[in-house]
Amino acid sequence: MEMNTRSLQQSGSSKSKGKIMAKIVEEDEEGEEEEEEDSLSSGCHCFLCAIKEPDARLRRASLAAFFRELPYCEDDDASGAAGDGGQSCGEVVSAVWKTAMAAPDDPELPSLGAIRCMSLLLARALADVEWRRRGQNVYVPYYAAHVIGSYTIRSSAHAELAVAAGAVRPLLAFLGGSMTWVEQRAAARALGHLASYDATFPAVARYAAEAVPLAVRAASICVGDVYASFVALAPSKRPKYQRDLLTRGLDGAGVVVADGEDRKAEEWASQLQCWSLYFLSCLASRDVSSHATICQHPVFLRELCQMWGGLANGDSPAGVGLIRLLCRSAAGRGAIAACRDALSGLCDLARSSDDWQYMAIDCLLLLLDDRDTWHAVADATAARLVDLAELRHLGPRRRLGNAITAALLLDDDDLVHGRELGMEAKQAIASLREVQVERKRREDAMSRDELLKTRIMAKEKKRQGNDMFWHGEVEKAIELYTEALELCPLSRRRERLVLHSNRAQCRLARRDADAAVSDATRALSLARPAANAHARSLWRRAQAYDMKGMARESLLDCLAFAGAWLNRKDGTTAAAAAARAGNPKLPYCVARMISKQMSLTGLFSAVATNSSTKVDRDDRMPHYSDGDEEEEDDDDDDVDHDESEEEEFAEKEMKLFRSGKGLPIITDEAWRRLARRKKSRQMLSHDHPSLIH
């Protein structure tokens, strides 16, 4: 994804941009002076020949003449415009795109009219439908829009040339669906780049009233559109040029495979959605007045948190990135606070192991900091947000739990304006106040001996809870773990993590998915050295999310667990040995869970009406359960490890996971998708030696 941070580039690039623009103008003037002289000495003006010309003066003159004449050729043979090369217009524009992709910062072709030529070709494709349908001209709009998008990815000077050439208007037409989703994707990419620079933003913002609804619609319907107009069709009925672009390109290299087309179509649909959201984010970040326009679409707001980019676009914050921008204005906060589905989506993301978890928490904190939206947001989110009250650090954010606690406890009479919270929210906030304020005050006043006594009592309750669990007395085990949590000092984070995690396992045994998610999330908030670094709690929450039918959240926890499993410190396990040997193996139930959730979280799963998403009870993953319940770790050192306990735990897991053939190897396709996940790549490295406790 090309989600660039423009502010840093622009702050230090004014001089370099001036030099680039000066070079472009100088080269343009030189080209005009040399054109008549050199055009006579050049035998061929076709692009492929001109670009290989070693003489710079001849090359520049030939290319300038070619780009000037190409938009006006009367058929699909570009040689008719400037030479005898015999390439079609589509082939030439494809070649220009490859050049732009290889060297997007090179000013030579833009200075000779390449960007202006592409803008004119886009305008002609819109105005002359007959020409567009002739020969290979149907490929021209896609590649022309991508040429503009490639040259403007990092260069403000090139973006200024595109705006001066009138590229914004035709790009908006393609974003609006003047052709198909293929051209729409390329247009969204180019418009996002043009809107990301201070110099060119005003030219794009001039059309904001038109652009915002177009981008909102594109992001909302693109998945269904791609599925209905391409994926759902038999391969023989799919547009040939789209199949070529997806699998081979115009040059015909490669082999068309239906499964490959479907995978590529899913990736492109995700990119179209992400690039449309990026375009909206660029508008929202620079023009607060656009927030009201974006928020006029309530269905879009409800779906925004579900637009997550998928595993293939993990570098894009997608929907939550736009929500965070909207939360910076009163109009945006009001609209999101009034949308229960949006608030629920933010809570789900905040209690997940997604890379953008911190963004969801940022959004909720911004909403809770607004006196006008506090009541609605607290009423809808407090019961789930309290699970994160002991979260310390998350990526670049520090002391997030303290910020969440402070925001939720601002329920004074002046703030709520006489409105009462719902019972669930009131109980959650009362419990939070009792633990984080009253209990902390009591423990601060206790002597060391008194704290030690309560800690010993908590350990005994935990031991009894473990015994009850192993004897099948799950309800009694929950009661004992709860009593242990009430006794265990708040400073004993590691011990409380284990208690919450063990209680989550009991909740799973009772199939109480909501309570299991809550306990597992609290355990992960207490984890060291980083949040979400306790593997067993990740697996338990993954199972709970699976029970709730929340496939995306379950998948992300499974992937985080898989990374932790393959990076175990215990070098005696078969899994660790296989991982070191480059033959990654996972427990059968984990591999099966990942495969299941990947099939359910595919971009087209929700719109594929002919596919069944129901899972029989017998097909659910076996619980990662009994062998983990004796999770003993009472050492004061948060990063110390009990090797004997880990060996016992691993042995019990092997008994649970074996299916007669040992540990299965995860499928190649699932592993490739797992590897694309940034979090998985990090966890599969050796940078986290304390991941497994």
Question: For residue range 113-140, what is the model confidence (pLDDT) as tens digits?
Answer: 999 999 999 999 999 999 999 888 999 9
Tens of pLDDT, residues 603-620: 888 787 444 433 333 333
Q: What's the full length of the chain, in residues?
A: 693
The CA distance from 401 to 29, in Å, is 61
Q: Tell me the pLDDT tens digit for each residue of 267-303.
A: 999 999 999 999 999 999 999 999 999 999 989 999 9
What counts of helices (H) and strands (E) characterise the chain? 39, 2
pLDDT for 640 beyond 50:
no
Sign (positive or negative) of CA dihedral 313, 319, 322, 323: negative
- Assess contact for 70 and 117: CB atoms under 8 A: yes
Return the closest-CA partner of residue 216 out of 106, 158, 300.
300
Statement: residue 180 has pLDDT above 50: yes
By the 8 A CB rule, do 147 and 93 touch? yes
Rounded distance, CA 323 to CA 337, Å? 11
Residue closest to 558 by CA, chosen among 601, 518, 522, 523: 601
pLDDT at 257: 58
Contact call for residues 143 and 90 (beta carbons, < 8 A): yes
Average pLDDT over residues 585-613: 80
- Delimit the domains of the chain by residue range: 522-605
What is the DSSP track for 305-317?
TT---TGGGTT--
Confidence (pLDDT) at 302: 92
- Supply the mean pLDDT for the chain: 80
Phi, psi of 448 (to 5 degrees): -60, -40
Residue type at position 144: A
Burial (CB count <10 Å: 0-12, 13-18, 19+), residue 5:
exposed
411-423 pLDDT per residue, tens: 654 455 557 889 9
CA angle 35/36/42 to nearest 5° reads: 75
| pLDDT for the residue 587 | 86
Tokens of 324: 């965070």
d(CA 252, CA 244): 7
Distance from C-alpha of 360 to C-alpha of 510, rounded to nearest angstrom: 30
Residues 534-557 have a mean pLDDT of 95
> b or e along 618-639 (b: 16 or more beta carbons within 10 Å of the residue's beta carbon)?
eeebebbbebbbbbebeeeeee
**CA gap 481, 486 in Å, rounded:** 9
Q: What percent of the chain has pLDDT over 90?
A: 60
* Cα gap 356→322, rounded to integer Å: 12
Q: In 152-238, which residue ranges form alpha helices assigned H by DSSP?
A: 156-164, 168-175, 181-194, 201-205, 208-226
Residue 592 scores a pLDDT above 60: yes
Rounded distance, CA 291 to CA 271, Å?
A: 23
Tell me the pLDDT band of 670, cut-offs 50, 70 and 90: very low
Alpha helices in 549-667 (DSSP H): 551-565, 574-580, 588-601, 643-657
- State mean pLDDT over 641-661: 37
The secondary structure of residue 420, as a DSSP letter, is P
Looking at the predicted structure, is the pLDDT value of residue 402 above 70?
Answer: yes
Using CA atoms, how far apart are residues 138 and 131, in angstroms rounded to an integer? 9
Determine the pLDDT at residue 77.
58
The pLDDT value recorded for residue 605 is 84
